Amino acid sequence: MSPPRSVAHPPALDNAVWAALTGPHQHFAQRLGRAARYPSDVYGFAALADPADPAAWADLHALVGPSTAVRVKGIDRVPAGWEVIGGGRGVQLVDVSLRTGPAPEAVPLGLGDVPEILELVARTRPGPFLARTVELGTYLGIRQHGRLIAMAGERLRLPGWTEISAVCTDPAHRGRGLATRLVRAVAAGIKARGETPFLHAAAANRTAIRLYESIGFSLRTRTRILHVRTPGTSPRTSPGTDSGTRPL
């Protein structure tokens, strides 16, 4: 799998969480200087304007507080005093030839559907989904006899691009093309806004990656996620830094 040469890939995709929190999702952002995060019940990720900038890490420390766990995408190392407590590897895929279309049986999902969504997520484990994640964009679901059996929706939104996420189907109903229809339907809404769909998947989830490639996505890059804990001491203020914190 190699990145397609026919699609322009803006640098924002390399730091998608930051681009979202400083762009279309800035109304969700909890931000301090060069660091930002989503509310903890929306999406459990933070981002740095530049992961190589010690001042950005200092801002993140001040933003989330001491001894606090947070997830950050696209980094390989942390400053002294920070602890890596987990992580994983993934892939980022972009739409190059996806054919969109409606899913007539799909219905919009909202905050009232969250208990059912969380039950489906627990059965299928498509990735993190929290109590308010549904607020990030359009989510569509398919029900059978009133029970939610499949869904997909929008998560990160940055200028010109929207991530398709939470694609999952109850194990008892797989093999019917439900996920494909939902992805195409969600993508139709994204393209109607003049944006391009992209998505992330765990690098080890070859089944999902093959599905996405078969319907028109192509690998753009491999990614890394670190689950880190901030230093246990409170960050000290330092005159001369625009975040009001001392660089690590």
Which CA distances in Å does 33 have to 19, 45, 48, 50, 112? 14, 16, 9, 11, 35
pLDDT of residue 242: 39
How confident is the model over 189-212, as pLDDT tens digits? Answer: 999 999 999 999 999 999 999 999
> Can you say how many angstroms the Cα of residue 89 is from the centroid of all Cα atoms in its chain?
13
How confident is the model over 143-190, as pLDDT tens digits? Answer: 999 999 999 999 999 999 999 999 999 999 999 999 999 999 999 999
Q: Determine the Cα–Cα distance for residues 16 and 69; give it in Å rounded to an integer.
A: 20
Q: One fold for both 11-89+225-229 and 93-222? A: yes
Run of H or E including 165: strand 161-169
Q: Determine the Cα–Cα distance for residues 183 and 168; give it in Å rounded to an integer.
A: 10
pLDDT of residue 234: 84
> Can you say how many angstroms the Cα of residue 118 is from the centroid of all Cα atoms in its chain?
17
Residue extents of the structural domains in the chain: 11-89+225-229, 93-222
The percentage of the chain sitting over the pLDDT mark of 70, rounded to a whole number, equals: 92
The CATH homologous superfamily of the domain defined by 93-222: Gcn5-related N-acetyltransferase (GNAT) (3.40.630.30)
Confidence of residue 10 (pLDDT cuts 50, 70, 90): confident
pTM as predicted: 0.90
Q: What would the mean pLDDT of 130-138 be, rounded to a whole number?
A: 98
Length of the chain: 248
Q: Determine the Cα–Cα distance for residues 193 and 116; give it in Å rounded to an integer.
A: 28
CATH fold of the domain at 11-89+225-229: Aminopeptidase (3.40.630)
How confident is the model over 31-60, as pLDDT tens digits? Answer: 999 999 999 999 999 999 999 999 999 999
Confidence of residue 236 (pLDDT cuts 50, 70, 90): low
